[in-house]
Amino acid sequence: MKLMEEKILNEGKVLPGGILKVGSFLNQQIDTAFLKEMAEEIKRLYQDSEVNKILTVESSGIAIAAACGMEMNVPMVFAKKHVTSNVDGEVYKTKVHSFTHNNYYDMVVSRDYLGPQDRVLIVDDFLANGNALRGLVEIVEQGEATLVGAAIAIEKSFQDGGDRLRSQGVRIESLAKIESMSDEGIIFKD
Amino acid sequence: MKLMEEKILNEGKVLPGGILKVGSFLNQQIDTAFLKEMAEEIKRLYQDSEVNKILTVESSGIAIAAACGMEMNVPMVFAKKHVTSNVDGEVYKTKVHSFTHNNYYDMVVSRDYLGPQDRVLIVDDFLANGNALRGLVEIVEQGEATLVGAAIAIEKSFQDGGDRLRSQGVRIESLAKIESMSDEGIIFKD
């Protein structure tokens, strides 16, 4: 998606430690007109897949997932990162390692909101080492739902999370794929 | 908003400890068609207020805030609940007590995304004791932005957070106000 690459080049900031800061439009402040364009593009990519549920994980995936749900007219579910008092009853659960925070968390979805009748599109803002995405795939499997694929705003292709999941047969569509990035610039794949 | 009251009556569940579970449509699974209707109603309520920024706090407020941002065609900013590696530079920050989790957290917004030029509408899913909303009001004040008001999906009017803030001059519009709730039913105010 050309517009995503332009936004990253114009507004993104490469920080020490391999962090790409896109807080001005994607994950702290959100450019809502651009959000709608992302959702339209994701709808186009998966228009023949009969998606009937969007799945993401809190919290930076929620805005894109909600926009996709509105655009595709299907419900959206977000996994929580801890068991909280608001999740009662039986849940799907998997343990995920966060490189950003250097800890483990439980990714949790109530059984009420995912099941064998669902054709699930996973949506998230970033894909790098793939831990969060693998956790979401695991949740879909626990729910015996059908995984249609994943739609990612920005993939760091220089990390292997995306390619490992693709080699396992998961369809992944990323709106921008970063091949390399440094103080000197950002280079996109393809 | 009649439709909100109907959703709460049809799908809400009162849990022990004064918790209203609305996970089926508002804060774990999200009914995205309903989300759009909420955003349209909030836009209508604040149509003459020249709002140019939506502010919420992660994570359950993000979907509604994003929908409002798209509907009103203004950017949305969400406060983070901890200082993370993705927030660099100077920030606005305030300490908030969470009754749900019985702990304190830092509510944080980068100075880059809020300032004196902003006319801010705060959006959130719940208002009960008002701690989160007071934190967001404090962030707006730190940013020397103009607070237009707040839009809340569900207010628990039997707790005093909303009325205390109203008495301080904050405009608060709640799509549903719950006067009382128990195993035996939910009664709305007005």
Query: What rounded mean pLDDT belongs to chain A?
Result: 93
Confidence of residue B42 (pLDDT cuts 50, 70, 90): very high
Here the ipTM equals: 0.94
Report the distance separating Cα A65 and Cα A60, nearest Å.
Answer: 9
Is residue B5's pLDDT more than 90? yes
Is residue B119's pLDDT more than 90? yes
Could you tell me how far CA B163 lies from the centroid of its own chain? 15
Amino acid at A73: N
Residue A112, Cβ density class (10 Å: 0-12 exposed, 13-18 middle, ≥19 buried): middle
Is residue B20's pLDDT more than 80? yes
CA atoms within 13 A on the CB side of A125: 21
Confidence of residue B85 (pLDDT cuts 50, 70, 90): very low
Please report the number of interchain residue pairs, chain A to chain B, with beta-carbon separation below 8 angstroms: 132
Residues of A at the B interface (Cβ-Cβ below 8 Å)? 15, 17, 19, 21, 23-24, 27-33, 35-36, 58-59, 62-63, 65-67, 69-70, 73-78, 80, 84-88, 100-101, 109-110, 112-113
Report the distance separating Cα B75 and Cα B94, nearest Å.
Answer: 22
Is residue B46's pLDDT more than 70? yes
Which member of B24, B32, B78 has the closest CB to residue A112?
B24
Is residue B10's pLDDT more than 60? yes
Chain B residue with CA closest to A112: the answer is B24
Confidence of residue B88 (pLDDT cuts 50, 70, 90): low
Residue A119 is predicted with a pLDDT of 98
Chain B residue with CA closest to A99: the answer is B85
Which member of B24, B62, B75 has the closest CB to residue A62?
B62
Q: Give B-chain residues touching A80 at CB under 8 angstroms.
A: 28
CB A59 within 8 A of CB B58: yes
Report the distance separating Cα B188 and Cα B146, nearest Å.
Answer: 31
Residue A85 is predicted with a pLDDT of 45
Cβ–Cβ below 8 Å for A78 and B15: no
Residues of B at the A interface (Cβ-Cβ below 8 Å)? 15, 17, 19, 21, 23-24, 27-33, 35-36, 58-59, 62-63, 65-67, 69-70, 73-78, 80, 84-88, 100-101, 109-110, 112-113
Q: Give A-chain residues touching B27 at CB under 8 angstroms.
A: 86
Concatenating the DSSP letter of every residue in A24-88 gives: IIIISEE-HHHHHHHHHHHHHHTTTS---EEEEETTTTHHHHHHHHHHHT--EEEEBSS--TT--
Q: DSSP character for A101?
A: T
Going from the first residue of chain A to its last (190 residues), give the mean pLDDT of each consecutive group of 10, the final group possibly shorter: 96 89 94 98 98 96 98 97 62 89 89 97 97 98 98 97 98 97 90
